[in-house]
Amino acid sequence: MIVVFLGPPGSGKGTQAKTLSKELGFVHISTGDMLRDAVAKGTELGKMAKEYMGRGELVPDQLIIALIEEAMPEGGRVILDGFPRTIAQAEALEDMLKRHGKEVNKVLFFDAPEELIVERLSGRLTCSSCGALYHRVYKPPKDDMVCDLCGGKLLQREDDREDVVRNRIRVYKEQTASLVDFYRRKNKLISLDAGKSVEEVYEELKRLLKDGG
């Protein structure tokens, strides 16, 4: 089963995908996490992606498609989080899956208004060690700026600064939002109200992902 999490930055895709992978055994593939890891390690990919990410722009399709070709597992239940983000990526994904007799089964669209995602991104804190997600208001850590899970230091992502956030939202509208119609036309789109609490969204997702799809 292959599930795509589609939605604007800050709509809660990573938060839900991390819990679903821990509790229900989904393989969580986040192109954003993979790219940040590549930047941190200073790999060739990281060097090529760094500038785009810092500006809140999309990394070129061919780099992302190569990354996904490598990361996609043979089987199992997979959540693609933050991929595809362009029609070209969605078409490449379709071709790649078709070669293995597979397809995207469901696309969960995290629907959230702009004010809400700006508020979520400006308060987001990320563990520099294990990648766990927090929010200054909605999910504060027990100890200030320390990860509850691993004791790592919490940081604000560089691209969660307000000017970059505005650019990421613009890029989402220009390059990614058309995927909503792309998947709706294929009868794969399921919209959910991403403005609800983390627990409510999680329950809804569990319900929607229960049947084999």
Q: Which is nearer to ligand ADP, 96 or 118 (CB)?
A: 118
Residue from 107, 168, 188, 205 in contact with ligand AMP (CB under 6 A): 168
Among candidate residues 102, 157, 161, 196, the one labeled active-site is: 157
Asked if 147 contacts 129 with a C-beta cutoff of 8 angstroms, the reply is yes
Q: How far does CA 37 lie from the centroid of its chain?
A: 14
Please report whether residue 16 would count as binding ligand AMP according to CB under 6 A: no
What is the CB-side half-sphere exposure of residue 52 using CA atoms within 13 A?
A: 17
Q: Where are the alpha helices (DSSP H) in the chain?
A: 13-24, 31-41, 44-55, 61-71, 87-99, 114-122, 162-171, 178-185, 198-209
The residues that touch ligand ADP, with contacts defined as CB under 6 A, are 7, 9-15, 120, 123-124, 133-135, 138-139, 196-198, 201
Please report whether residue 7 would count as binding ligand AMP according to CB under 6 A: no
Asked if 27 contacts 129 with a C-beta cutoff of 8 angstroms, the reply is no
The stretch among 19-27, 77-85, 128-136, 205-213 that binds ligand AMP (CB under 6 A) is 77-85
* Least gap, CB of 167 to ligand AMP (angstroms): 9
Q: Is 124 a catalytic residue?
A: yes
* Least gap, CB of 95 to ligand ADP (angstroms): 26
The stretch among 20-28, 79-87, 184-192, 202-210 that binds ligand AMP (CB under 6 A) is 79-87
In 10 A of CB 91, how many CB atoms? 14
């696309």: which residue's tokens? 107
Comparing CA positions, the residue from 86, 39, 44, 36 lying closest to residue 65 is 86
The stretch among 78-86, 96-104, 111-119, 188-196 that binds ligand AMP (CB under 6 A) is 78-86
Q: Which is nearer to ligand ADP, 13 or 36 (CB)?
A: 13
**Partner whose binding site includes residue 31, from ligand AMP, ligand ADP, none (CB under 5 to 8 Å by kind):** ligand AMP
Burial class of residue 37 in the structure, from the number of CB atoms within 10 Å of its CB (0-12 exposed, 13-18 middle, 19+ buried): middle
Given CA atoms 143, 149, 153, 159 in this order, what sign does their dihedral have?
negative
Among candidate residues 18, 36, 77, 168, the one labeled active-site is: 168
What are the catalytic residues? Answer: 13, 85, 124, 157, 168
Which chain residues interact with ligand AMP by CB under 6 A?
9, 31-32, 35, 52-53, 56-59, 64, 82-83, 85, 89, 159, 168
